[in-house]
Amino acid sequence: MIVRTAAALGALLIATAARAAAPTASPLPPPADQALARDLLAELVGIDTVHRSGTLKAAEAIQARLKAAGFADGDISLLTIPEHPTQAQLVVRMRAKAPKAKPILWICHLDVVEAKREDWTVDPFTLTEKDGWFYGRGSQDMKSEDAAVLESLIRLKREGFTPDRDLIVAFTSDEESGDANGPEWLLKTHRDLIDAGLVINPDAGGGSIKDGKRLAYGIQTSEKVYVTFRAEATDKGGHSSVPEPNNPIYRLAEALGKVAAYRFPVATTPTTRSWFAAQSAYAEGQEAADMLAMSKEPTDMAAAERLSQRPSTAPRLRTTCVATEIAGGHAENALPQRAYASIQCRMIPLDTEAGVKAQLEKAIADPQVKLTTIAPATPAPDSPPDPALFARIAKVVASEWPGVKVIPHMDLGASDSIFTRAAGIPSYGLSAVWGDVDDNRAHGRDERIRVDRYYEGVEFAYRIMKELGRGK
């Protein structure tokens, strides 16, 4: 599995707000649950789970917490991938008495991106509270979400809550990098353990704050699909004193120029159309009118053209491909025998790998420049913006953050939901902890979240779990 962008970044791209709800005091968990939530976050941040270290220690820590909270041994599974013994998955089930529907599965990755002590002003693997912020690797992506989900499970258990359908949580490995992706492996080898009618992924979606104001709450229903091609030109080579017209470096350069100029056709989905409709309320003038136009079919090409000029909306309108690496030649005084480049694409879920490859080949229009796939796509369809489910989520959002609008959205980055969607399970990104559009440090140095927003998030995670666990 290729290194993928944190889906959380996509949520932060939602809108540049002109009008938005002013933050109000939100309900918080009882003091004892706040203390537990802090303790769980400190414990998880304190365990280094970068790819090299693995997730086994964190999974064991969660297992111990769940046992202490009264979950039965038979409802907790700690599984390691045989070829990767330090990459562990911890799956826990809260049972219904007489299930009214298929289970709901939460997927929560435990791994984090590398963090070097010398780059940070604090120790990345110690939770540090400073000036109203929690610092630490994973504080944003996504140990705060892991801790919030874990705290909710423990709290519901203590309160004697029995859901109407089984609630399953899988804490997993290798979302950020590596070839031991937890959800992918669990679906392949332990489908029965995690099979569900619905997936909630707190690593995506959610709300962001801009200039002190809350923007909309995004429910991630889809994401752009990741695929990477290699473009390669070759020749027999020779002495550089005798240049020949078929020079692979020139051919490749020309091909890449054509890729840069090529624009894929505009393609909207139910998710992006309703996203544009909702975002139009935060825009003004021509931009607002263009966004409203994009919420309708057939596509208004003049509106699409104007929105294509804006970095915040352009990638939502179409598949994009960009050259990301280049190499070629073997000596400064020899004609090159080979030149190649990586072309990284993010596809609208309607597009296919074969279709995008064919369009690139047509744009390049040089049979001597060969395209091959180096990171194949995992096709993942849109999860439908189901009105009944959205109404229930909106109710919980309103209870925690009154006045905040709920909208579906497509992530530009990728999340583990591609695996559950590809397996046919509708999957929704619902992160609990709000971030700041202008202070996003996921994957970066001095990663942090605001302390008050963490506790609000813990309360939200609890309310969502309780609401969705009721009825069917």
Binding residues for Zn ion, rule: CB under 5 A, are: 6, 141-142, 203
Q: Which DSSP state fits 140?
A: T
Rounded least distance, CB 48 to Zn ion, Å:
16
Q: What is the smallest separation between the CB atom of 6 and Zn ion, expressed in angstroms?
A: 4
Which CB, 6 or 170, lies closer to Zn ion?
6
> Directed axis angle between helix 301-308 and helix 285-294, to 10°?
120
CA distance 273 to 217: 16
Between residues 319 and 427, which has the closer beta carbon with respect to Zn ion? 427
Nearer to Zn ion (CB atom), residue 139 or residue 268: 139
For residue 334, what are its two tokens?
Answer: 């020899």
Would you say 112 or 406 has its CB closer to Zn ion? 112
Q: Which residues pair with 226 in a beta bridge?
A: 346
Q: Least distance (Å) from Zn ion to the CB of residue 10?
A: 11
Q: What is the rounded radius of gyration, in angstroms, for the C-alpha atoms of the chain?
A: 24
18-22 contacts, C-beta under 8 A, 24 or more apart: 18/282, 18/283, 18/284, 19/281, 19/282, 20/210, 20/213, 20/214, 20/215, 20/216, 20/282, 21/213, 21/214, 21/401, 21/402, 21/403, 21/404, 22/212, 22/213, 22/214
Q: Which is nearer to Zn ion, 137 or 357 (CB)?
A: 137
In whole angstroms, the minimum distance from the beta carbon of 60 to Zn ion comes to 21
What is the separation of C-alpha 287 from the centre of its chain, rounded to a whole number of angstroms?
27
Cβ proximity to Zn ion: between 204 and 369 the closer is 204
Task: Give the three-state DSSP class for 312.
Answer: coil
Q: How far is the CB of 416 from Zn ion (least distance, A)?
A: 8
- Asked if 28 and 223 touch (Cβ cutoff 8 Å), the reply is no
- CB of 258 closer than 8 Å to CB of 372: no
Question: In whole angstroms, how close is the CB of 141 to Zn ion at the nearest point?
Answer: 4
Q: Which is nearer to Zn ion, 112 or 397 (CB)?
A: 112
Least separation in angstroms between residue 442's CB and Zn ion is 7
Question: What per-residue string of b and e applies to 329-368 under the rule 16 or more CB within 10 Å gives b?
Answer: beeeeebbbbbbbbbbbbbbbebebeebbebbbebbeeee
Nearer to Zn ion, 59 or 356 (CB): 59
Nearest to 147 by CA among 53, 12, 35: 35
Q: How far is the CB of 367 from Zn ion (least distance, A)?
A: 41
Residues in Cβ contact with 412 at an 8 Å cutoff, skipping those fewer than 6 apart:
5, 9, 10, 13, 223, 224, 315, 316, 346
Q: How far is the CB of 146 from Zn ion (least distance, A)?
A: 10
Nearer to Zn ion, 115 or 142 (CB): 142
